[in-house]
């Protein structure tokens, strides 16, 4: 028995557009669902495909400011292009389009529904691919993110007395989530990401460990460009996994961005499905009620492969390596040459790898010196 699982999905996730030239393509949700269908993963015993329930604005106000939400709704209802840079709205990164608010609300509602399913309905795992908007701030859109679904869902969990670990394995630092919980011990945030030295959002360094009651509850492992599978697994095994085990949360919330992959057009890590799958399997083995959300990924087939692998792991299903012929036909027409679901383990070039290894070892040593003693003292 693997416990009941839920996939939050709606065809409405793919009915909007950030613009033809924008790197974020909402069509990736439908593509991921089609690959899951092709593998027979949407009709598994004990696995439900569900749509999210509507949520009230009061739920959003547990994090976002009223004036920001009002401006987001106003712009969303207009057919005329609008911009208000105080709120991060209307620039190239965060475009405004008709229906934006409703679309962002649907993805956020999916993550809140996932939290409800694992805490109230006995689901072991609930996965909302249309979540993962970890850059949204209280009163500002950022990094393609308008509503911070993870923070809103975590606040829903906290209000019900739950202690939460938030683990983010997207290539970008989960800055909006860290910011929300920087001074509390009710949430342990862990982010493994490409270093912000020259990379958006420019945060997520080892010294960012929280303040006040939250001291030691913000954990960051920045990876230099060209970090590969072995280094990604090292960061997870030596930092994230032991901290999750010591903190022993009631609920695990994970952001599963696929932009860490070496063929992603916006990032410079060299990670593949090998380490991504490894981490997912270790998370499942913890047997903690698990809320998973999507996140980044700017090669649509990488996203489809990653989230199909995630859903299979969540359901204890082993998949064949070759992509189903029906799916290959779909992506060939889109110009993607992929034929395989899984990648071989990848090693970066020696010089690049040595620099990345030296950096991650220094990061791990710093975290073990500053965070681990605090965590063991309070939870060991």
Q: Mapping DSSP to helix (H, G, I), strand (E, B) and coil, where does residue 86 land? A: helix
pLDDT in the model for residue 15: 82
pLDDT tens track for 31-87: 999 999 999 999 999 999 999 888 999 999 999 999 999 999 999 999 888 999 999
Where helices occur in 121-272 by DSSP H, the ranges are: 149-158, 175-180, 229-235, 241-247
- Up-side HSE of residue 182: CA atoms within 13 Å toward CB? 14
Q: From residue 264, give the alpha-carbon distance in Å to each of 103, 130, 131, 314, 367.
A: 25, 19, 19, 24, 28
Kindly list the domain boundaries of the chain, sorted by start residue.
5-379
DSSP readout, 170-206?
Answer: SSS--HHHHHHTTT-SSEEEEEEEE-TTSSTT----T
- Three-class DSSP category at 326: helix
Amino acid 67: pLDDT: 98
- Give the mean model confidence (pLDDT) for residues 163-178: 98
DSSP count for the chain of H helices, then E strands: 12, 8
Point out the catalytic residue in the list 64, 134, 135, 137: 135
Per-residue model confidence as pLDDT tens digits over 193-229? 999 999 999 999 999 999 999 999 999 999 999 999 9
Residue 142 has pLDDT above 90, yes or no: yes
**pLDDT tens per residue across span 239-260:** 999 999 999 999 999 999 999 9
What is the reported pLDDT for 1? 39
Q: What per-residue confidence (pLDDT) applies to 80? A: 86
Centre a 10 Å sphere on the Cβ of residue 368 and count the other Cβ atoms it contains: 13
Q: Give yes or no for a contact between 137 and 41, defined as CB atoms under 8 angstroms apart.
A: no
pLDDT beyond 90 at 338: yes
Instruction: Determine whether 135 is an active site residue.
Output: yes
Work out the average pLDDT over 11-32.
91
Q: In this predicted structure, what is the pLDDT of residue 2? A: 64
List the one residue out of 301, 291, 255 whose CA is nearest residue 133. 255
For the chain, the average pLDDT equals: 96
Kindly report, residue by residue over 263-311, the tens digit of the pLDDT: 999 999 999 999 999 999 999 999 999 999 999 999 999 999 999 999 9
What CATH code is assigned to 5-379?
3.40.800.20
* 220 touches 205 (CB < 8 A): yes
């Amino acid at each position: 028995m693997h416990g009941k699982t839920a996939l939050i999905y709606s065809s409405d996730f793919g009915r909007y557009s950030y613009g033809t030239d924008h790197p974020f393509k909402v069509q990736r949700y439908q593509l991921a669902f089609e690959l899951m269908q092709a593998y027979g993963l949407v009709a598994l015993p004990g696995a439900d495909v569900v749509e999210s329930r509507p949520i009230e604005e009061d739920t959003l106000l547990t994090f976002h400011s009223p004036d920001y939400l009002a401006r987001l709704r106003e712009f969303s209802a207009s057919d005329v292009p609008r911009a208000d840079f105080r709120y991060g709205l209307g620039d190239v990164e965060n475009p405004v389009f008709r229906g934006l608010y409703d679309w962002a609300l649907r993805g956020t509602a999916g993550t809140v529904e996932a939290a409800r399913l694992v805490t109230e309905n006995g689901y072991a795992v609930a996965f909302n691919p249309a979540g993962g908007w970890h850059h949204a701030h209280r009163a500002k859109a950022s990094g393609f993110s308008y509503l911070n679904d993870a923070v809103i869902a975590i606040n829903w969990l906290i209000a019900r007395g739950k202690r939460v670990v938030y683990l983010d394995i997207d290539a970008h630092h989960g800055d909006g989530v860290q910011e929300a919980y920087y001074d509390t011990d009710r949430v342990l945030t862990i982010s493994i990401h490409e270093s912000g030295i020259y990379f958006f959002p420019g945060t997520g360094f080892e010294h960012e460990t929280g303040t006040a009651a939250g001291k030691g509850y913000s954990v960051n492992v920045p990876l230099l460009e060209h970090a590969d599978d072995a280094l990604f697994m090292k960061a997870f095994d030596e930092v994230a996994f032991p901290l999750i085990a010591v903190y022993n949360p009631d609920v695990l919330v994970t952001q599963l961005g696929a932009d860490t992959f070496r063929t992603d057009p916006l990032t410079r890590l060299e990670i593949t499905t090998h380490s991504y799958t490894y981490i997912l399997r270790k998370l499942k083995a913890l047997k903690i009620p698990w809320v998973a959300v999507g996140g980044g990924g700017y090669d649509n087939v990488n996203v489809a492969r990653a989230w199909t692998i995630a859903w299979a792991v969540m359901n204890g299903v082993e998949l064949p390596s070759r992509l189903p012929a029906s799916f290959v036909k779909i992506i060939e027409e889109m110009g993607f040459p992929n034929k395989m679901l899984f990648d071989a383990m990848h090693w970066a070039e020696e010089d690049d790898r040595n620099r990345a290894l030296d950096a991650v070892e220094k990061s791990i040593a710093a975290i073990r010196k500053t965070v681990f003693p605090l965590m063991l003292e309070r939870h060991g």
